Amino acid sequence: MTGWLIRRLFHVTLVMAIMSVVIYALIGLMPGDPIDLMIAADPKMTPADAVRLRGLYGLDLPLTTRYWNWLTALFSGDLGYSRLYGQPVGAVLLPALAATLKLLGLAFILSLLIALPIGIIAGLRPQGVLDYGVNFVAFAGVSVPQFWLALLLIILFAVQLQWLPAGGPPPAGAGLQITLIHYILPVLCITIASVGDHTRFIRASVIDVMRQDYIRTAIAKGAGPGRIILRHTLRNAMLPVVTVIALDFGFLFSGALITETMFAWPGMGKLIFDSIMGNDFNLALVALLLATFVTLAGNLLADIAYALLDPRIRYK
Amino acid sequence: MTDTGPRLLTVEGLTVRFPLGKGSVTAVDGISFHIDRGEALGLAGESGSGKTMAALAIPRIIPRPGRIDSGSVVLDGTDLTRLSERQLRPVRGRRIGMIFQEPMSSLNPTMTIGAQVAETLQLHTGLTGTEVADHARAMLERVRLPDPGSMMTRYPHQLSGGMQQRAMIAMALACDPDLLIADEPTTALDVTVQAEILDLIDEARRDLGMAVLFITHNIAVVGRIADRLAIMKEGRIVETGKTAELIASPRSDYARHLLNAVPRLGAGPHPRKQQAETSGQPVLAMRGISKSYPLAGGLFGGRGRKTVLHPTDLEIHAGETLAIVGASGCGKTTLARCLTRLIDADSGEVMLDDTVMGRNDRRLRHAVQMIFQDPFGSLNPRWSIRAILREPMQIAGQTSADQQVLAVDRALQQVGLDPAMAGRYPHQFSGGQRQRIAIARALILNPRVIVADEPVSALDVSVQAQILDLLADLQVELGLSILLISHDIAVVERLADRIAVMAEGRIVETGPTRDILGNPQTPTARNLIAAVPRLPERAA
């Protein structure tokens, strides 16, 4: 397992290195640079100023040299400076990452809390009334586009009923109640989008396990339904679920981009969106790499969880 | 035969039905039988005769949507069909133990062997944690699993099939049940392992005074341990009787049919079998072929390699059947795959006539065709039979569509199937019919050699004989060479001109079939011959 882990971490590093080249190149090849934006914003700037500024920022150097400079700076702990926010990239990124992880974490836990019991119950009695109901609702949840759902939620709960704030993070120093109220709509929006998939997947996995011969063995031993579900079905049914759900984390991360933009949530999604729109290269680069890393880490965690759950899987 | 006590189980008019659309399918049709304490009853019949459903109906674990329609199952005065699920739980596992055909899939893959044996005890006894563990270990020792202490912490996939079945038996016997229901417990196992498991069940029965209901498709398997036999056909019991009497003088045609199907050593070759020429230029040969696999473990990759096939020479002549026999894991399948170049050998070469064959050589692919063990897994379930049979010709690309359809019809006729069935899908055929389709697929390119890897071991004995006869007929008709791989030496006698006995990656003995069977030189060959289940004291 140790050897496997070392190799996997090496793979993660390799993918990160390749992604950094790809993202750097993509941003570098984009038409326009920050100086163009400055010119647009400041009519008094002369072309000579622009040339001088490009030299100052190093934007006149070839792409490869710029990448090398960025990389060496990165390894000395310098992530660069965000022009848009007027702060070091790290200082902007960390609170945004924390905000996103809080939002996603809550939505993820809520989604599993709903999907696990419902998926298991539906799977134990397939083709029952409950199963059909669950399937219908799950499909509806999967089919609804997130931006549309976010709009509907805002119209209903913030505009019409005026129960909840339309968006924005909880104000600094707010009490628990106020903080929670700000979380409700964005968490709900992400949860509705993911809970259907989770439920259907857990259901399918439980149905599959309940058909296995070893469940028949457990019944023949005299085990009751509680024991059969808890000891024999769940662990086996969770094996494929863990993989899919961990892979889903990357998907959720990208989904957060929409949700955060809709609810003005100061997270990674909004940060990436704003930094690309504002030609804030340094920020966009690190933010995208961080998003890549979170997805890779989710996959790695899934593989480790899989090995812990399934004795047949031994990585070597 | 043992003395049997008072009545333990009485089954009266038991009917099991599966609702299907508006009607229903009757799997078990009003059967009645009884088992006395300490008695062993063998329930024999072909696939689909309802014998497994009859057995599962006793502790009421028939798969949904099947249900007991009528009849009673009285265990020691209590009618089990009238109990609630909750009342049945103390009966299952405590009074009735069960073992099944596939030990691998019948054990929970994510629980240790120890935990699974202990579970029976936890469910039915008030023993403490350490007492349960001690008892479970004692049970593993009792079924003669090596190193019971470490066995407790191992998982099913780390055990061989025979060891898994021993663990199942330990689990079923943990609470000292009155009745053991054994549903084809040895069908998925090698003949040599089968003999050991049968001995183990018989020994446990004598020690514990336990009754056994043994379900099988091969009468020879139960012949040795059953006091009485019941023969089932199409959901009904057609004949019952004391084992020795029923075997000696069966009254029903069906019982006679089942008895005749049992493969017997010394029955001689197939009547149409002609003596093949086994010298001169071979059709297919391998020279110095060896194969090894990397072992698991280590920080960066393997810790050496395990040799599964030591450098081996082999020749198959025109019209000859060469049988390779040996226990599971002896390397016979690896040998076949190297010979057909489905996998790359580490060393050596494969020659067709006198040409060395490269990887994926089209000439080899056309001249040598394979038939596999599992007729369910080796046919694509989404393809019609016609599509399955046409595919090899489409790949070969030498025939028009019309010619292909004609060739499909001809191949189906050759294997004894109606060409009108070509539009059907694999699931609409029985196991034996599917194996015929697999043979038709192998024949469709007019090959010179057929490699058949355990072609009948997944089939009922009664069907085995038909498939072997078909192969013999086709061989005479088409002049085929056949490489027949089997763990059952009785199966190969009918067909083989020569036998090669394998053990631990080596061919340890080769010779004409009659010599190997009559005068085996190696312990491996002697064990294989001794392990063949025999009908006891059969008249005639």
From the CA of A310, how many Å to the nearest CA of chain B? 6
In 3D space, the residue among B239, B176, B236 whose CA is nearest the CA of residue B37 turns out to be B176
Say whether pLDDT at B200 is over 50. Answer: yes
Q: What angle do CA B65, B71, B76 make, to 5 degrees?
A: 110
pLDDT band at A139 (very low <50, low <70, confident <90, very high): confident
Nearest neighbour of B110 by CB, restricted to A222, A227, A310 = A310
Question: pLDDT tens-digit profile of A189-229?
Answer: 888 888 888 898 999 999 999 999 999 999 999 999 999 99
Q: Are the C-beta atoms of B50 and B232 separated by less than 8 Å?
A: yes
Residue of A nearest to B181 (CA): A220
* A197 Cβ contact partners less than 8 Å away, ≥ 6 residues apart: A138, A142, A248
How many other β-carbons are positioned within 10 Å of the β-carbon of residue B133? 17
CB contact under 8 A, A216 and B111: no
Q: What is the mean pLDDT of chain B?
A: 88
- Across B276-291, average pLDDT: 84
Model pTM above 0.90: no
Query: What are the two backbone dihedrals, phi and then psi, of residue A186, each rounded to the nearest 5 degrees?
Result: -60, -40
- CA B465 vs CA B262, B326, B374, B460, B471: distances in Å: 8, 20, 17, 9, 10
Task: Give percent above pLDDT 90 in chain B.
Answer: 49
CB contact under 8 A, A213 and B102: yes
Query: What are the two backbone dihedrals, phi and then psi, of residue B287, each rounded to the nearest 5 degrees?
Result: -125, 120
> Could you give the residue ranges of the DSSP H alpha helices within B317-374?
332-339, 362-367
Question: pLDDT tens-digit profile of B286-316?
Answer: 999 999 887 654 444 456 788 889 999 999 9
Task: Give percent above pLDDT 70 in chain B.
Answer: 95
The whole-angstrom separation of Cα B175 and Cα A221 is 10
* pLDDT at residue B300 in the model: 46
Say whether pLDDT at B342 is over 60. Answer: yes
* pLDDT at residue B276 in the model: 67
CB contact under 8 A, B100 and A213: yes
* pLDDT at residue B539 in the model: 42
Compute the Cα dihedral for B106, B111, B113, B115 and give only its sign.
negative
Strands across the sheet with B211-216, in order? B96-99, B179-183, B211-216, B40-44, B228-233, B236-242
The identity of residue B520, as a single letter, is: P
Question: pLDDT tens-digit profile of B422-475?
Answer: 999 988 888 888 999 999 999 998 899 999 998 888 888 888 888 888 898 889
Ordered DSSP codes for B202-265: HHHHHHHT-EEEEEES-HHHHHTT-SEEEEEETTEEEEEEEHHHHHHS--SHHHHHHHHHS--T
- Residues from chain A that touch B123, judged by Cβ atoms under 8 A, are 221-223, 227
The whole-angstrom separation of Cα A15 and Cα A25 is 15
Inter-helix orientation angle A146-153/A234-262, to 10° = 70
**Chain A CB within 8 Å of residue B119 CB:** yes
Question: pLDDT tens-digit profile of A10-35?
Answer: 999 999 999 989 988 888 777 777 77
Residues of chain A in Cβ contact (below 8 Å) with chain B: 2-3, 6-7, 212-214, 216-224, 227, 231-232, 235-236, 239, 309-312, 314, 316
* pLDDT at residue B537 in the model: 54
Residue of B nearest to A7 (CA): B300
**Chain A CB within 8 Å of residue B188 CB:** no
Q: What angle do CA B22, B26, B27 make, to 5 degrees?
A: 135
Say whether pLDDT at B137 is over 90. Answer: yes
The whole-angstrom separation of Cα B475 and Cα B273 is 8
For B12-38, give one letter per residue: b (16+ CB within 10 A) or e: bebbbbbeeeeeeebbbbbbebebbbb
Residue of B nearest to A217 (CA): B106
Question: pLDDT tens-digit profile of B405-430?
Answer: 999 999 999 888 899 889 999 888 88
Say whether pLDDT at B91 is over 90. Answer: yes
**Chain A CB within 8 Å of residue B102 CB:** yes
* pLDDT at residue B89 in the model: 94
> H/E element holding A183?
helix A176-210
* pLDDT at residue B322 in the model: 93
From the CA of A201, how many Å to the nearest CA of chain B? 20
In 3D space, the residue among B237, B228, B232, B162 whose CA is nearest the CA of residue B200 turns out to be B162
In 3D space, the residue among B501, B525, B499, B523 whose CA is nearest the CA of residue B512 turns out to be B499
- Residues from chain A that touch B165, judged by Cβ atoms under 8 A, are none
B window 150-179, beta carbon within 8 A of A: 155, 157, 168, 171
From the CA of A314, how many Å to the nearest CA of chain B? 10
- Across B220-228, average pLDDT: 88
Rg value, chain A, Cα = 24
Nearest neighbour of B92 by CB, restricted to A6, A222, A227 = A222
Q: Are the C-beta atoms of B253 and B268 separated by less than 8 Å?
A: no
Q: Are the C-beta atoms of B248 and B76 separated by less than 8 Å?
A: no
From the CA of A188, how many Å to the nearest CA of chain B? 35
* pLDDT at residue B268 in the model: 72
* pLDDT at residue B306 in the model: 82
Query: What are the two backbone dihedrals, phi and then psi, of residue B500, each rounded to the nearest 5 degrees?
Result: -115, 125
* B487 Cβ contact partners less than 8 Å away, ≥ 6 residues apart: B190, B191, B192, B325, B326, B327, B328, B454, B457, B528
Residue of B nearest to A235 (CA): B110
Say whether pLDDT at B538 is over 60. Answer: no
ipTM given for this complex: 0.80
The whole-angstrom separation of Cα B176 and Cα B65 is 31
Range of A139-148, A273-282, B40-49, B299-308 with top mean pLDDT:
B40-49
- Across B354-381, average pLDDT: 86
Looking at per-residue pLDDT, the higher value among A299 and B212 belongs to B212
The whole-angstrom separation of Cα B319 and Cα B527 is 29
Whose structure tokens read 């957060």?
A: A256
Query: What are the two backbone dihedrals, phi and then psi, of residue B444, each rounded to the nearest 5 degrees?
Result: -65, -25
Question: pLDDT tens-digit profile of A283-306?
Answer: 888 888 888 888 888 888 888 888
For B518-537, give one letter per residue: b (16+ CB within 10 A) or e: eebeeebbebbbebbbebee
Residue of B nearest to A239 (CA): B110
* pLDDT at residue B451 in the model: 94
The whole-angstrom separation of Cα A154 and Cα A185 is 8
* pLDDT at residue B273 in the model: 67
Residue of A nearest to B116 (CA): A218
Say whether pLDDT at B107 is over 90. Answer: yes
- What number of residues does chain B have? 540
Say whether pLDDT at B165 is over 80. Answer: yes
- CA B136 vs CA A219, B83, B93, B120, B172: distances in Å: 19, 29, 14, 9, 11
Q: Name the maximum alpha-carbon separation found in chain A.
A: 87
Nearest neighbour of A222 by CB, restricted to B90, B299, B301 = B90
From the CA of A179, how many Å to the nearest CA of chain B? 42
Nearest neighbour of A222 by CB, restricted to B100, B109, B124 = B124
Say whether pLDDT at B277 is over 90. Answer: no
